[in-house]
Amino acid sequence: MVSKFQLSQQQWLVSFFQHLPNPAFILLDDAAHQLQLVAANQAFLGLLPDIVSLPASLADIRLPADWSTQLKNQLNLLSIDVPCSLELKIRSQDSYRWFALSLQLHLVQQQRFYYAVLTEVTEWRQECKQLQQKLSDIERLKNRIREQAIRDPLTNLFNRRFLNEFMERELALARRNQKPLSLVMLDLDHFKQLNDQHGHQTGDQIIELVARNLLRQSRRSDILFRYGGEEFLILLPNTTALQAGHLAEGWRAQIEQAQVFAREQQISVTISAGVACYPEHGTTAFNLIHAADQALYQAKAAGRNQVVLL
């Protein structure tokens, strides 16, 4: 039942609400905990299905079920005379409209009245969604640019620039965990001669082939870099020098067996490798790389196509 207070004030409230540009209404939570509309303006009623003008009795109007469910879930959380804001989703034909709902609870003669004003935020939400999409696109672009900055474009291995940053982190981990960190420096044998004889395109194909073989034969924990030109560097965390030497020998043998052709002529491709390990061969990135480079130089001097451990 609608209270005398409600009936006496309804005309004044409706008149007041009619001057508001936004949809506005007052709800009564009755004894059966059903939400009754006791005052509303035309802007609000226009949101309700099949209503084009003010009815004779607002009490006869029942809010759509989805509205009532959304509202009831929030109204139970309200405190008396403490305003709050929430969002209300309203179905409109084949889509939804979103409204920011400003609510305030008042007790009048032990009855709970909810004063509410709606502000449509559908376009704002769409703009926020579009902005979020743009921010996501920017983040993906940043990640792609960063990947391009740290990757070698020919082999897709990490480049030398990233090695300087990454190796310091791996060395710090090795120190903290007191674990070995091995480094293998690889170099293609007689690469300048291959380039001069068969052309730079064939040279690029050989570098790509070596990179693919290294990736295929390496462990998930190994980190591969194209160090420069025909040189490759592999970091092997938690790996001793002896273990690294065995791995490097496997890479060497695999590449030696690979078949490479240029103008229907088979080309012999071999690599030499030098191995160094933290901490016995150095405790800094510079010292370790220098030690591996020295081992590589010894492999070249000893006839190439071999692995040398310091």
Task: Please provide the DSSP assignment of the chain as one string.
Answer: ---HHHHHHHHHHHHHHHT-SS-EEEEEE-TTS-EEEEEE-HHHHTTSTT--S--S-GGG-B--HHHHHHHHHHHTT--BT--EEEEEEEEETTEEEEEEEEEEEEEETTEEEEEEEEEE-HHHHHHHHHHHHHHHHHHHHHHHHHHHHHB-TTT-SEEHHHHHHHHHHHHHHHHHHT--EEEEEEEETTHHHHHHHH-HHHHHHHHHHHHHHHHHHS-TT-EEEEEETTEEEEEEET--HHHHHHHHHHHHHHHHH--EEETTEEE---EEEEEEEETTT-SSHHHHHHHHHHHHHHHHHTTSSSEEE-
**Residue range 136-158: average pLDDT?**
89
- For the chain, the structural domain boundaries read 4-125, 148-309
Residues 41, 23: contact at Cβ < 8 Å?
yes
- Collapsed DSSP state (helix, strand, coil) of residue 239: coil
- 183 or 100: whose pLDDT is higher? 183
Q: What is the pLDDT of residues 202-239, one digit of tens each?
A: 999 999 999 999 999 999 999 999 999 999 999 999 99
**Residue range 119-148: average pLDDT?**
88
- 255 or 145: whose pLDDT is higher? 255
Weakest-pLDDT range from 52-66, 191-205, 207-221: 52-66
Q: What is the chain's length? A: 310
**Residue range 14-18: average pLDDT?**
63
pLDDT at 150 over 80: yes
**Residue range 152-158: average pLDDT?**
94
pLDDT at 9 over 80: no
pLDDT at 67 over 70: no
Pick the CATH number of 4-125 from 3.40.630.30, 3.30.450.20, 3.40.50.300, 3.20.10.10: 3.30.450.20
- 131: confidence class by pLDDT, cuts 50, 70, 90: very high
Q: Annotated catalytic sites, by residue?
A: 230
Mean pLDDT of the chain: 83
CA distance 184 to 301: 17
Q: Name the CATH topology of 148-309.
A: Alpha-Beta Plaits (3.30.70)
What pLDDT, on the 0 to 100 scale, is given for residue 55? 45
Percent of the chain with pLDDT over 70: 80
- 61: confidence class by pLDDT, cuts 50, 70, 90: low
What pLDDT, on the 0 to 100 scale, is given for residue 245? 96
Q: First and final CA of the chain: distance in angstroms?
A: 95
- 244 or 25: whose pLDDT is higher? 244
pLDDT at 13 over 90: no
- 69: confidence class by pLDDT, cuts 50, 70, 90: low
pLDDT at 56 over 50: no
Q: Give the chain's radius of gyration (CA, Å).
A: 37
Same fold yes or no, 4-125 and 148-309: no
Q: What is the pLDDT of residues 30-53, one digit of tens each?
A: 766 677 777 778 787 777 764 444
Residue type, 249: E
- 77: confidence class by pLDDT, cuts 50, 70, 90: low
Which pair of structure tokens corresponds to residue 79? 């405190």
Statement: the pTM of the whole predicted model exceeds 0.75: no
Of the candidates 58, 69, 8, 7, the residue with the CA atom closest to the CA atom of residue 33: 69
Q: What is the pLDDT of residues 170-181, one digit of tens each?
A: 999 999 999 999
What pLDDT, on the 0 to 100 scale, is given for residue 68? 61
**Residue range 91-112: average pLDDT?**
77
